[in-house]
Amino acid sequence: MNTEPKPRIKTPRRRNFTLRQLKLFEAVARTGSFTRTAEELHLTQPAVSNQIKQLEDQIGTPLFEHIGRKISPTEVGRELVAFSRDISQRIDEFENLLDDIKGLHHGVLNVAVVSTAEYFSPYLLARFCSHHPGITVNLDVTNRDAVLKQLADNAPDMAIMGVPPDGANLVAQSFMPNPLVVVAAPDHALATMKDVPIERVVRERFIIREPGSGTRDAFERFLMKSGWRLQNSMEMSSNEAIKHAVMAGLGLGVVSLHTLEMELKLGRLAIVDLVDFPLERHWYLVHRQGKRFSVAAQSLKTFILTEAAQAVLPALPGRITRSKVKR
């Protein structure tokens, strides 16, 4: 009889980290700061640090490295960020599934919009919420690059922006025109001229958005196609800054017609009657491919795609009529 002891099978050590720790870890990785994470989650900074230390002890390796005052994930930390976001998304999907099974019509939706869309998106969402008082919609207004980053991270339920780039694994549906116009101060020489040719306006100083802006990209493509380029320009990072600069007489601006309703009513800005303008662009409702929508999210998507098309654009002066702005 073989009396030799059987070899002991070593079982892997179970790492008992919690969903709360993963949430805190992902927040620290996103903000790059223990202090900002504590403020965001309404905790104390020592509480956040203690939870991250416990998580590192469970995993057995540092998750962050400190370079000066900045912290960033280690190689293991970067892998855990991806897993944490995936787990968070799966939990959200499960909660949405529970809502669907229970037939609930409430929930929290996250919508990201580019800054130009802030002039109409709150009104759309207000109308939606008036019909669905149990649904809370969180609106994040930011620039185009940040919206694309959020979509890549699968953070928002959906986004409102111009046409997204190809190959980004996104679904984009056009729902409303977004005409771009050239504006001037009311006392500018071009404010009352008719059929202004492009070769006349390119000699003027233009106040334009920062690189990466959808409005700037569209205008630069128009100029390139026409064989012209601006001779003098200034960059500003918001539509409001551009409008105030134009009102102050610093130059001409290119903005979405949706940003001008108040200025046109008050006579503070004038639309230049430029040949081949307005530039025809569109607003898109965008989300990740394969996105699983809750009942609430699907209701919002349907609402935007059907109701926003009825939005009324500001009145256009002169020969630029509504017939040129196709719905």
What is the DSSP track for 47-67? HHHHHHHHHHHHHTS-SEEEE
Task: Give CA–CA dist 106/132, Å, rounded.
Answer: 8
What local confidence, expressed as pLDDT, does residue 156 receive? 94
Report whether 110 contacts 100 (CB < 8 A).
Answer: no
Q: Is 299 left (phi over 0), alpha (psi -120 to 50) or beta?
A: alpha
What local confidence, expressed as pLDDT, does residue 163 receive? 87
What local confidence, expressed as pLDDT, does residue 234 receive? 92
- Which residue carries 């002066």 as its tokens? 317
Q: With a threshold of 0.95, does the pTM exceed it?
A: no
Q: What single string gives the DSSP state of each residue in 231-259?
A: SEEEE-SSHHHHHHHHHTTS-EEEEEGGG
What local confidence, expressed as pLDDT, does residue 327 receive? 35
What local confidence, expressed as pLDDT, does residue 4 receive? 58
What local confidence, expressed as pLDDT, does residue 103 receive? 53
pLDDT, one tens digit for every residue, the chain (327 residues) = 555 555 554 445 556 778 888 888 888 988 888 888 888 888 898 998 898 999 888 888 999 998 777 888 999 989 998 888 888 888 877 877 777 656 556 778 999 999 889 988 998 898 888 888 888 899 999 989 999 999 998 899 999 999 888 888 899 999 988 999 999 999 999 999 999 999 999 889 999 988 888 888 899 999 988 888 888 889 998 899 999 999 999 999 999 998 998 899 899 999 999 998 999 889 999 999 988 888 889 889 999 998 876 654 454 444 344 334 443
What local confidence, expressed as pLDDT, does residue 211 receive? 86
Closest CA to 261 of 283, 279, 243, 273: 243
In the chain, DSSP finds a helix count (H) and a strand count (E) of 11, 12
Task: Give CA–CA dist 87/82, Å, rounded.
Answer: 9
What local confidence, expressed as pLDDT, does residue 324 receive? 41
Report whether 252 contacts 184 (CB < 8 A).
Answer: yes
What local confidence, expressed as pLDDT, does residue 321 receive? 41
CA atoms within 13 A on the CB side of 296: 26
CA atoms within 13 A on the CB side of 78: 4
